[in-house]
Amino acid sequence: MTGAEGPDAADAEDEFQRLGEQLLRTTRNSRDRAAVRALIEERSILSVPALRRALIIHTDDGEMAHFEGLAGHQYGLGLDRGQQYFLDLVLAMTGIGITPLVGIQSMDDRRLPILLRLAGNNTIAVGVRLYTALRPAGESRKEPRPGRSHPQPPQAKEITVSVPPNPGPGPTPDALPELARMLITDERFTSCRNTVMDANPDMAEEMAGRIVDEAFKFVAACSRNPGVGLAPSRIVDEGWHALILHTAMYAELCEHLGGQFVHHSPGYDPTNYDPPILDRTREKIAELGWEADPELWGPPSDETLASVAAKCQHAPECTIVVQPKPKKPGVA
């Protein structure tokens, strides 16, 4: 590097750091935040001027990532194939488009672990190929802030087997994804969202998806906090009903979250409303690393963001309390 190149490189690094922090600060939801983090860690895509022009809009709060505006234009940005596959997967994280199987199969060893980590997993099986993200010992699952220090992401190890691999033991209790909706497959999420829309014919697809997303957060909070009384808002309860109707999926979900089955105890008086319970539930959701959607966790009223078919409004006498599994004799 020449003397002239040094300051330029430092300025470019400072600008990348500033832009990354700004885009994280102005994200609108957890999906966009995860997508921005992926682009920051991958680095090369966010450094492409054409990508920045297509992605970034200017608001009163400064620059903001607008993934909806990028959709449909990502193929004319001059990205190479590896960058294109990665960007397709990032857009899929925000709910835009779908990702072909070849995109995952062709993902290189540097980029694949980024997506695996943000999804809260360290392996992905594609056919008879098992990809494992090798994380350095002691590394936290939380994403580092963008800065001058960019630790090398864990590398992906590909193992080819002749039969589908044995999944082995289930995920550890702290292996939660960046987005609650990633607790299940996109196909199952769509089915749950459609169930909410079937019960509420006038509801927009986007709103139904938000309700299901909050229901996952609620069930996870209950499962991870046995013995603590929690309750959903009336709107979120509609999403919970949709999950329960998918009985096999719901049982698997509870098992995945730690093995505590979260039973539904309906309260039929729609005037029941106990703010401390909802506040406590939101706090437990935050402890899991998620943010409860404030517009969907309010009191039942004519001003509610969405009118739902569910008539439950949980109160102290019908609060959900998950009982811990009894330990085997002799187990401390």
- One-letter amino acid at 242 equals A
45 touches 39 (CB < 8 A): yes
> Poorest-confidence range of 26-40, 48-62, 114-128, 285-299?
114-128
Q: What pTM does this model have? A: 0.49
How far is the C-alpha of 42 from the C-alpha of 24, rounded, in Å? 15
How far is the C-alpha of 310 from the C-alpha of 209, rounded, in Å? 16
**DSSP string of 173-212, one letter each residue:** TT---SSGGGGS-HHHHHHHHHHHHHHSTT--HHHHHHHH
- At residue 9, the pLDDT reads 76
Mean pLDDT of 228-237: 88
Confidence of residue 211 (pLDDT cuts 50, 70, 90): very high
- At residue 217, the pLDDT reads 95
pLDDT digits (tens, 9 = 90+) for 160-210: 333 334 444 444 454 688 888 888 888 899 999 999 999 999 999 999 999
Helical residues (DSSP H) of 130-272, grouped into ranges? 186-199, 205-224, 234-245, 247-257
Phi, psi of 165 (to 5 degrees): -65, 150
Structure-token match 């006038």, residue found: 202
**HSE (side-chain half, CA atoms, 13 Å) at 59:** 14
pLDDT digits (tens, 9 = 90+) for 174-186: 468 888 888 888 8
**pLDDT at residue 82 is higher than 80:** yes
How far is the C-alpha of 137 from the C-alpha of 3, rounded, in Å? 38
How far is the C-alpha of 271 from the C-alpha of 237, rounded, in Å? 14
Confidence of residue 145 (pLDDT cuts 50, 70, 90): very low
- At residue 216, the pLDDT reads 95
How far is the C-alpha of 316 from the C-alpha of 127, rounded, in Å? 48
Mean pLDDT of the chain: 74
pLDDT digits (tens, 9 = 90+) for 43-75: 999 999 988 988 899 998 899 998 887 766 667
Confidence of residue 272 (pLDDT cuts 50, 70, 90): low
Give the helix/strand (H/E) hosting 133.
strand 129-134
CB count in 10 Å sphere of residue 250: 20
- At residue 197, the pLDDT reads 93
